[in-house]
Amino acid sequence: MQAVNVLCIKWGKKYGPEYVNKLHSMVRRHLHRPFRFVCLTDDAQGIDPAIEVKPIPAVGFDEFDQRKPWTFGHGWLKLTSFANPLYDLQGRTLFLDLDIVIVDSLDPFFEQPGAFTVIKEWDKSDGTGNTSCYIYTIGAHADALEHLKNDYPASIADVRNEQEFITGYLARQGKLDYWPDEWCRSFKRHCLRRGLMGWFAPPTIPKGARIIAFHGKPNPPDAIAGVSGKWYRRVLPTQWVADHWR
């Protein structure tokens, strides 16, 4: 069976090394084919030695390569995953955000056809993808970085973040596909009980879910502890997050 890649990226202080280590552990339990797990990072301290760690690559665009302040926000550094070459990586690659919980097999993600497959953003109707989880072939979309660089700042004038940029760019090329809706779910939107039930019953795993994305707040350790992070949202301690996020 052809080996595949699983890629993540960690920069700054928002997420500690435990997020990388737990993601690696979840992938090992839920991916049943040969794979390389690679973390691109600006700080490898505390990351399990079993994990392949590489610096966030230079991409030939000074704004990124000199780490201008705006590149640290809104996921922009994730675009470095499209560098060509990207070290010695080749072939099909599943990119995963650090703030996810894997609850079922990842094998079907590698069986989906398409140049770039991503989550359909849950709260938008314009076709924007959510890049918490996407699959592509290493080197296939380096032209997106060229467009970003050559047309900057006009290239980002009409977008708020990295996922609007990359999914809009690839959609215009006819290269954008989406995962089946039930595979990738939002903890806030699909796991929390509705209305007053959220005050009396813990969150659930939606039927058919494989990945639960924890965008914004709470993060996985918050959900385990029953901490919402927002005054208007009640989150009861969630045991299944503790069972899977390890």
Same structural domain, 130 and 219: no
Q: How much is the pTM?
A: 0.96
pLDDT single digits (tens) 113-141: 999 999 999 988 888 999 999 999 999 99
Count the neighbouring beta carbons within 10 Å of the beta carbon of residue 75.
Answer: 18
CATH number assigned to the domain comprising residue 59: 3.90.550.10
pLDDT value of residue 53: 98
Same structural domain, 168 and 199: no
pLDDT single digits (tens) 27-42: 999 999 999 999 999 9
pLDDT value of residue 231: 78
Distance of CA 123 to the CA centre of its chain: 17
Query: Which of the listed residues 155, 182, 209 is the one where a domain comes to its end?
Result: 182
Cross-strand bridge partners of residue 120: 129
pLDDT single digits (tens) 76-102: 999 999 999 999 999 999 999 999 999
Same structural domain, 207 and 159: no
Same structural domain, 120 and 207: no
User: For residue 48, what are the CA distances in angstroms to 96, 103, 188?
Assistant: 17, 22, 29
